[in-house]
Copies of this chain bind each other. A is one copy, B any other.
Amino acid sequence: MGGDKEKIDKSLDPAVQQMIAKAEKENVATVWDRYEAMTPQCGFGDTGLCCRHCLQGPCRIDPFGEGPKTGICGATADIMVARGLDRAIAAGTAAHSGHARHLAHTMLKMAKGEAKDYSIKDPEKLRAVATRMDIPIEDRSDNEIALDLANAALADFHEKETPVMWATTVVTPGRVKVLSDLGLVPKGIDFEVSEIMHRTLYGVDADAVNLLLAGLRCAVADLAGCYMGTDLSDILFGTPSPVVTETNMGTLKADAVNIAVHGHNPVLSEVMVGVANEMDEAAKAAGASGINLVGICCTANEVMMRHGIPACTHSVSQEMAVMTGALDAMVVDYQCIMPALVTVAECMGTSIVTTMDICKITGATHVDFSEEAASEKAKEAIDIAIKNFSRRADKPVDIPAITTPVVTGFSVEAIVGALTNVDAEDPMKPLIDNIKAGNIRGVCLFAGCNNVKVTQDQNFVVMAKKLLKENVLVVATGCGAGALMRHGFMDPANVDDLCGDGLKAVLTAIGEANNLGGPLPPVLHMGSCVDNSRAVALTVAVANYLGVDTDKLPVVASAAEAVSEKAVSIGAYAVAAGLPTHVGVMLPVLGSPLVTEVLTEKVKDLTGGYFIVDLDPESAADTLLAAIDERRAGLGL
């Protein structure tokens, strides 16, 4: 196994390769089969030259100049492409902020005593965030502060006297000015989503640059949603600190009740973690060795960062976890959950349990989760898994015997904490000094998904290898982090192999100062998709320390295998924040040379950031290195 060329073309991950082989043998269609069946994909859609925004359409413009030059209404390729991109940004923004709003409601209910399964796990962060939001903290209880903070969060969704505070208080003062001057400060998160939907309607905005600027403003609202999501999760569930665990499908156990939590919002999975512990005896009574909880996608990142729960697999290979036959239940919340899971699960005897009103799947079992009855509902879901275990107990399972060690939990607070053990007086100094000295040439954030169009993990692995050797400090979130962790990039034992000498020295020095008995891992795991906010926070901390704006720093980002519209909105806010931002798959913008030029070049004159679209990971890494060097030169380094 693992040597079959076709399997390797689908995934670099040997565990996934094994399960692809099993799926083939058992005639179970997977995402790779569905992709193959879908090719050749529609070239109009691929290039953004398809519009269905009214009932006179659908319209399409041939990217090679054959046929109509505009849609029926007269919309040019530029307008079509910009409108489509804007709607993707709006969807991504709606999703991240929907997740954050869910947490705000949870905090509100907790503070009102209506959600007894939740509490303030990090009162220090509560007070820090409240202070940032100008909420008084002196002589006030956690609950009082939490109530105000939750209401402040909910207020950020709509127009009020102030702009979106989770945007303006989290970037540098210089960035606030840049965004203000460009009209890119969002008024309200939902407001911006709704305005995008209005201006992309038939017969509204027909100026591509105006549309793109609106998209960037919406993306800044997306940053706010992400940042809010991280802040509220940390307060409710604890701010992550380093923890040792492992990843990949070998973390499933044949004799245990295996439950995967999948999706994004820890509001459910956190409760699952607690309840699973309590229900271990019930699992044993059913003949299992216990309950084995694993994670998939960003829910995996959330519970891994905070509890060291192993990550089973990520993104494009989510079906492969089911293919093992060892999963008794997959309990999902929302986002990135393939509807196809239900079909694979039926073949393999796994229960797919949906839990959120906004995310049902035809054919799945629905448990109507609510914060008020959180542990009860979590029990209900786990009960389904235990019952399922009893049914499958004697059937053979195929668990790839592959696991990889992971050191995770690198919140900004954890990083600063580790640096404090190097320089207690001035914790940022060692980091900055090493950047200045070139031991850290720059910083690269890997984020986003695995895309079926790319050999799973390949872009991440190739790029990270190259950048680490060149002493770039690599941080990762989302399924980008998932990819890197499954290939050993979060195992400190691999620092020697993977990192250039300068970076190696830094990671080792910090590790030693923290008595870790070795270096930090080559890549620092910062969390889930919403936790791209942590990368922004780190960047802003460095910028403020140096007294420059974020667009001057040798910091870059890459969504090397992006899928979700969330990745588009994240990419757009990285650009708004001033970062060179790589995307390793085609964005549906090539149909408009104007839009492509604005996104990859002209926007640089506005925000300092810009998109780099490059499908070749080698040359993409080179381009990011060049961008880092350009910034270093700008800083006189």
Contacts and interface: CB of A to CB of B under 8 A. Distances in A.
A154 B55 CA distance: 30
A109 to B, nearest CB: 13
Interface in A187-235: 188-191, 193-208, 210, 214
B71 A34 contact: yes
A154 B210 CA distance: 25
A487 B87 CA distance: 38
A79 B339 CA distance: 9
Interface string A82-99: 001001001111110110
Interface stretch (A40-48, A520-528, A618-626): A40-48
Interface stretch (A132-140, A438-446, A558-566): A558-566
Nearest to A45: B58
Contact of A59 (B38, B59, B202, B343): B38
Given A74-B340, A206-B359, A201 B35 contact: no
Given A95-B204, A203-B564, A205-B359, A50 B50 contact: yes
A35 B57 CA distance: 9
Contacts of A34: 68, 70-74
A538 interface: no
A91 B200 contact: yes
B54 A204 contact: no
Interface stretch (A302-310, A329-337, A400-408, A509-517): A329-337
Contact-residue size bin, chain A (C-beta under 8 Å from the other chain): 35 or more
Given A38-B59, A451-B56, A197 B358 contact: no
A341 B74 contact: yes
Given A58-B46, A338-B73, A94 B197 contact: yes
Interface string A555-575: 000000011111110000000
A566 B201 CA distance: 8
Interface string A17-33: 00000000000000100
- Interface centre among A159, A201, A214, A340, by most chain B C-beta atoms within 10 angstroms, is A201
B339 A74 contact: yes
B94 A201 contact: yes
A259 B210 CA distance: 26
A563 B202 contact: yes
A206 B352 CA distance: 13
Interface in A129-172: 154, 157-159
A258 to B, nearest CB: 21
A93 B31 CA distance: 34
A455 to B, nearest CB: 14
B202 A194 contact: no
Nearest to A337: B203
A55 B563 contact: yes
Interface in A509-561: none
Contact of A38 (B71, B154, B358, B453): B71
Report how many copies the assembly holds: 2
A97 to B, nearest CB: 7
B210 A360 contact: yes
- Interface centre among A54, A79, A341, A588, by most chain B C-beta atoms within 10 angstroms, is A54
Contacts of A343: 74
A60 interface: yes
B55 A45 contact: no
B53 A50 contact: no
B56 A563 contact: yes
A70 B339 CA distance: 10
Contacts of A432: none
A397 interface: no
B335 A206 contact: no
A52 B50 contact: yes
A42 to B, nearest CB: 5
A60 B42 CA distance: 8
B56 A35 contact: yes
Contacts of A84: 52
A65 interface: no
For the complex of A and B, the 10 pairs showing the least CB-CB separation, nearest first, are A74-B340, A45-B58, A94-B197, A190-B190, A158-B158, A206-B339, A207-B360, A203-B336, A98-B198, A74-B339
5 contacts: A52-B588, A54-B563, A58-B588, A74-B343, A201-B565
Given A42-B50, A55-B586, A157-B158, 15 more contacts: A50-B58, A53-B565, A91-B200, A94-B198, A94-B201, A98-B194, A154-B159, A157-B194, A193-B194, A193-B197, A199-B359, A203-B339, A204-B359, A206-B337, A206-B362
